[in-house]
Amino acid sequence: MRPRARDGIIESDIGTLAVGRRGVLLSAEWLVGRASAPDFDPRDEIAAAFVAAYLRYFRGHDWREAFEDLPIGDGTPFQCRVWTSCRTIRPGDTRTYGWIARDLGLKPLHCRSIGNALRRNPLPIAVPCHRVVASSGLGGYAGARSGALADIKSRLLAFESAMRAKP
């Protein structure tokens, strides 16, 4: 399926992602078991820029090109540090929670805090938390260790590996 968007809802082979605002906060959410999508206003230039960036990504463009000039979202100073570190992981690569800890100058015992910060990531793919895995395997995604969200993490990683392999 060629990725397409309408009213902030982006449909792709990986899943359906909704971009909009929850109150004043920009959010992108996988529509898996959710009662509602965030509110999308086509006059919201930042939200519209994210929709365009997600479409570029799903069409096979490098995420750095698609998202590099866009903000990473609102969070605590610690969350923003974790999200910034996460954005250094290239498409097709993965890093562990321990790697993020070391990158931030922290001890590995902070892995749970790092996981919690990634769980609260309001902009999946733009902040590529799917590239962070447990040292023992895939780990969770958006707070889920199994089910549809974990499947999305696997599909994102496979998509990026295939995208990276293309000349």
Express each pLDDT in 107-155 by its tens digit. Answer: 989 999 999 999 999 999 999 999 999 988 888 888 888 889 999 999 9
User: What is the pTM (predicted TM-score) of this model?
Assistant: 0.91
Q: Where are the domains of the chain?
A: 4-67, 77-165
Q: What is the pLDDT of residue 146?
A: 86
Q: What is the pLDDT of residue 61?
A: 76
The matching CATH number, chosen from 1.10.10.10, 3.90.1150.10, 2.40.30.10, 3.40.50.300, for 77-165 is: 1.10.10.10
Active site residue 86: no
Q: What angle do CA 23, 40, 17 make, to 5 degrees?
A: 105
Residue 149 and residue 142 in contact, taking contact as beta carbons nearer than 8 Å: yes
Residue 66 banded pLDDT, cuts 50, 70, 90: confident
| Catalytic residue selected from 80, 86, 111, 129 | 129
Arithmetic mean of pLDDT, 36-46: 91
